[in-house]
Structure 1
């Protein structure tokens, strides 16, 4: 009886039911869209942290670089021999540690021994500035003077020679700077190379801990036309290219990967590392592990994903803030409005059914049965609105993913010495180059999770219950006499 009457009443009031369902659907669709976009923002931010900082781990340990002492400025210095051979090519490499102050390799073992640390591995970041080109020697020429020109000592007044002048000559040099990362070949699942995949060739083997081999980043190899099997030199040392690596997302800030021992030799940093990558035993205890490392190993800076997330700026950060604050409050406001509209429309519909409910009560229907009837109709409207809202929300999320709007993110300094640049900092040119390398474009997506769908279904049921409760309360207060007055 309940089902038959419910179906008949909903069929009679299709327009009213559709209006209530659409109101709920719009609110639910907006909630799904905002949640999906927020999830996409979080994924994009994770990609930024991995591609800009290489943080494929839970945290990193670094040490801030000390200020230059004495007369040492830390500025690059290159020495060339300006030989007389015109056009002879000359080249010089300057290799410096990049980022923070060097740490002893033994510190990696101490960090790994801390409570809550699953594993730790050290890496050495280097910056190589290569200057190559040639000098061209000028030629001295003497100019002859005309008549009346005073000659040299004892010379006559005619046919004398003037002061010799150097004509021609000069220098042409090209400056190229790239980054090098020393990798612990026995633990490549942790560290700079962990966020990249080998697309051509092979990666390092454990037997190549001190071999003169290298893995190049895709962008750097393409720019310089390097391929697997070729050899290139750093400070005169030849390295064979065994693989080309592409980052999992975004652009890699490392151009060349070398075995750690080779990088230490190049950088004159024996048994030194600049960064310690740490993986925690439990991702929920990262803050506790961070505090323990900072307490037990003084002078170091521990940086987590949360710390880096606070330094991300650009359109990604702006969009993320909008989705989190404005988007969330907007969806809540629309949802509340949809619930109120559904409740008011249901109550208004009950008011127009005075004769119907009064007659049913006169025939013996108790108030609870009338209330159940109204709530049942509202629940069907809510479920219909939920289904429409889920369809609209999933469709909107699919459109966002299909369009994939590009967002720009830039990682600022965390104050831990883990930034770019060599000793002495550098002028605006170096800072601009650093900013360019620390900027990445991310395509936004809007993944819809099962949790979001479940939330939408729950909201649909809640909306139906709220509307039904208000309408049912109004219907339960009606008396049979109301029906008789409406007939009269």
Structure 2
């Protein structure tokens, strides 16, 4: 009986039911769209962090470089062995550690033993500055026209002058990172995908082999099997890799032991990459490492995320603040309109509900009738809202608008945790602008939220209308008869 009467009354009031359902649908659709776009923002930000930190990395440990001693410039110098003759080719490699002060390799084991740490690996960041070129010796000539060597001309009456000569040098700087080949799932190489050749075998701890980034390989025309020298050490390219997103801040990857030999940094690392056992323990692990190993800088993914700027950051802020509050406002307005329309519809049904009460319907049955109608309207609105929200999210994914992200500096050692490739992302990645395609994934949680909002909207509208209907008396119906 209840179902038949409910169906008949809804059929009689199709327009009113559709208005209430559409109001709820718009609010629910906006919530789904904002929630999906926010999830897409989080995924885009994760891509940026993975390209800087590496997959599975929760934090990095570094140590700030000390200031140069008083009177020292802290700059770089090059020494050449002078050779006699008219022309002499010179070549020199300057290898320096970067990303902050070096740490003892033993600290990696110490950090791995900390409570809440799942694993830890060390990496050594180097900068190689290669200078190639030649000097050309000038000729000394006297003002009187006589010629002679550098010591002065014979038979001349004036001071000899050097004519000609000079130098022509090419300076090439690139980054090298030593990785723990036995634990490549954590650290700088974990954010790279091998596109040609292969990566290191776990037994190649001392192999003179290298994995180069695709951009550096293109610049130098390297391919698998190519060889080149790093500070006199000949290495062979075994693989070419591309980053999961953005651009690589590291040009060359070599085994950690090889990098330590090149940088004259035996048993030393510049960065320790740490993975926590649980994301909820990252903050506690950071405090423990900072307390147990004084002088170190611990940078978490949250610290890194706060430094990302560009349109990705701006859009994320809008989705989080403006989008969320707009969704709440629109949803509240939709609930209020649905409740007012339902209450208004009840006031126009005085004769109907009064007659039903006169025939013996208790107040609870009248309330149930109104709540039932409102729940159906809410579920219809929920279905329409899910369809509209999913459609909007699909449109965002199909268009895939491009967002830019610029990693900044946290002010730690080398910038952001002393990551790979030159003082960490704080020094090199800040010069890279990453383009990320935005998507808007709709999860089952979002669908469940939409259903919950639809039911809530129906209950709110039904509760308000049912309360008003329950207060009607049979006499009200008799007074409304003309």
Identify whether the pair has TM-score above 0.5, normalized to the shorter chain. Answer: yes
SS in 2 for 1:380: helix
Q: Confirm or deny that 1:208 pairs with 2:211.
A: no
SS in 1 for 2:442: coil
Counterparts of 1:297 and 1:328, CA distance in 2: 41
Q: Confirm or deny that 1:482 pairs with 2:476.
A: yes
Match of 1:112 in 2: 112
Offset at residue 187 of structure 1 (A): 1.2
Counterparts of 1:369 and 1:456, CA distance in 2: 28
Which of 452, 464, 475 is equivalent to 1:470? 464
Counterparts of 1:165 and 1:19, CA distance in 2: 98
Counterparts of 2:263 and 2:313, CA distance in 1: 36
Equivalent positions of 1:53-72 (< 5 A) are 53-54=53-54, 56-72=56-72
Please give the per-residue CA displacement for 1:159-182, whole angstroms capped at 9, x wherever unaligned: x99987766654443332221110
Offset at residue 360 of structure 1 (A): 1.8
> Structure 1 unaligned runs (5+)?
146-154
Which of 440, 451, 461 is equivalent to 2:445? 451
SS in 2 for 1:226: coil
**Contact 1:232-1:238 at 8 Å conserved across structures:** yes
Offset at residue 481 of structure 1 (A): 2.1
Counterparts of 1:100 and 1:265, CA distance in 2: 18
Equivalent positions of 1:9-88 (< 5 A) are 9-54=9-54, 56-80=56-80
Greater mean deviation of Cα atoms: 129-138 or 30-39 = 129-138
Go from structure 1 to structure 2 and tell me whether the alpha carbon gap of 1:208 and 1:450 turns closer, same or farther (over 3 Å shift): same
Offset at residue 119 of structure 1 (A): 1.8
Go from structure 1 to structure 2 and tell me whether the alpha carbon gap of 1:163 and 1:69 turns closer, same or farther (over 3 Å shift): closer
Counterparts of 1:421 and 1:140, CA distance in 2: 55
Please give the per-residue CA displacement for 1:64-102, whole angstroms capped at 9, x wherever unaligned: 111111333221223346767777654322211111100
Q: Confirm or deny that 1:406 pairs with 2:402.
A: yes
Counterparts of 1:135 and 1:345, CA distance in 2: 91
SS in 1 for 2:406: strand
Offset at residue 396 of structure 1 (A): 1.1
Equivalent positions of 1:313-352 (< 5 A) are 313-352=309-348
RMSD in angstroms over aligned alpha carbons? 2.7
**Contact 1:52-1:251 at 8 Å conserved across structures:** no
- TM-score of the aligned structures, taking structure 1 as reference length: 0.89
SS in 1 for 2:91: strand
Q: Confirm or deny that 1:435 pairs with 2:444.
A: no
Counterparts of 1:141 and 1:17, CA distance in 2: 105
Q: Confirm or deny that 1:180 pairs with 2:157.
A: no
Counterparts of 2:380 and 2:249, CA distance in 1: 51
Counterparts of 2:86 and 2:396, CA distance in 1: 61
**Contact 2:95-2:127 at 8 Å conserved across structures:** yes
Counterparts of 1:85 and 1:384, CA distance in 2: 93
Go from structure 1 to structure 2 and tell me whether the alpha carbon gap of 1:449 and 1:89 turns closer, same or farther (over 3 Å shift): farther
**Contact 2:139-2:162 at 8 Å conserved across structures:** yes
> Structure 2 unaligned runs (5+)?
146-154
Go from structure 1 to structure 2 and tell me whether the alpha carbon gap of 1:185 and 1:486 turns closer, same or farther (over 3 Å shift): same
Please give the per-residue CA displacement for 1:34-75, whole angstroms capped at 9, x wherever unaligned: 111111111111211121243631211111111111333221
Match of 1:149 in 2: none
Go from structure 1 to structure 2 and tell me whether the alpha carbon gap of 1:253 and 1:379 turns closer, same or farther (over 3 Å shift): same
Offset at residue 376 of structure 1 (A): 0.7
**Contact 1:38-1:324 at 8 Å conserved across structures:** yes
Please give the per-residue CA displacement for 1:433-482, whole angstroms capped at 9, x wherever unaligned: 66314x42222211111111111110000000001111111111222222
Aligned length: 469
Q: Confirm or deny that 1:274 pairs with 2:270.
A: yes
**Contact 2:298-2:417 at 8 Å conserved across structures:** no
**Contact 1:56-1:195 at 8 Å conserved across structures:** no
Please give the per-residue CA displacement for 1:362-396, whole angstroms capped at 9, x wherever unaligned: 22222111111111111111001111111111111
Offset at residue 207 of structure 1 (A): 2.3
SS in 2 for 1:487: coil
**Contact 1:82-1:135 at 8 Å conserved across structures:** no
